[in-house]
Amino acid sequence: MSSPTLTDKVSKIIYQDILAGKLNPGQKLVVSELKERYSVGASPIREALVQLSWNKYVKLEPQKGCWVASISQEELKELFEGLRVVGNVLLKKAIANGDEAWELNILTNFHKLTKINREEITSEAIQEREERHSAFHSALLEGAKAPIMHQFHQELTNQIKRYRHLQNTYSTVAKEHAEYLEEHETIMKLALSRNSEKAVELLEKHYIKTMDLLSGSFEA
């Protein structure tokens, strides 16, 4: 058996490759190939795959093998339905409970969002954009101070990342990028002005718009 530290490290690397679309949905995961890819032994690979199956990033079938979890229109809709419900509650709580530190964190992360380069389409650039986008949304909801709900929201967000990276939705033109920033800025301003009703309404529209974009970019 491999050490927990090595297993966790391998699990994280495979997980990141799944989110980044480097390991495609439905792709068979062969231990011998993964050993060569990640330069580690068979034991940490097998244990990492078991770990990833717990969170449904990987599908394990006894005597048959292991695959990257598939994607579908139905799953995408269910993920966004959960995200909308949890996100709306968290935003209401954040607006009600958020302090000055919460406000400054939102402003800081929005500023970082405005600095991303939408024209660069390398895997590193796409990863950077994804991280900044996620950081902004996390900052927006952080003031809720509801760790269990935050954890659930993060898990839904991570599952959706598989769809985002696979479809490369970040290669948008300048006009679309301007609209994207304006939408996030409006949500931010509504939250900072403590306009809970309007902020939640716009966040929900943002979720629906993103779901429709992703849903239309692949065939189930």
pLDDT at 116: 76
Cβ neighbours for 41, distance < 8 A, ≥ 6 positions apart:
2, 35
User: What residue type is assigned to position 10 of the chain?
Assistant: V
CB 208 within 8 A of CB 201: no
Residue 57 has pLDDT above 70, yes or no: yes
Instruction: Confirm if 156 and 86 have CB atoms less than 8 A apart.
Output: yes
178-204 mean pLDDT: 95
pLDDT of residue 120: 63
> How many other CB atoms are there within 10 angstroms of residue 27's CB atom?
14
Average pLDDT, integer, range 30-39: 94
pLDDT of 220:
47
User: What domains appear along the chain, each with residue ranges and CATH number?
Assistant: 4-68 (1.10.10.10), 73-215 (1.20.120.530)
Predicted confidence (pLDDT) per residue in 134-185, tens digit:
999 999 999 999 999 999 999 999 899 888 775 554 444 445 667 888 999 9
- Alpha-carbon gap, residue 49 to 163, rounded angstroms: 20
The mean-pLDDT minimum among 76-85, 98-107, 124-133 falls in 124-133
Task: Write down the pLDDT at residue 168.
Answer: 56
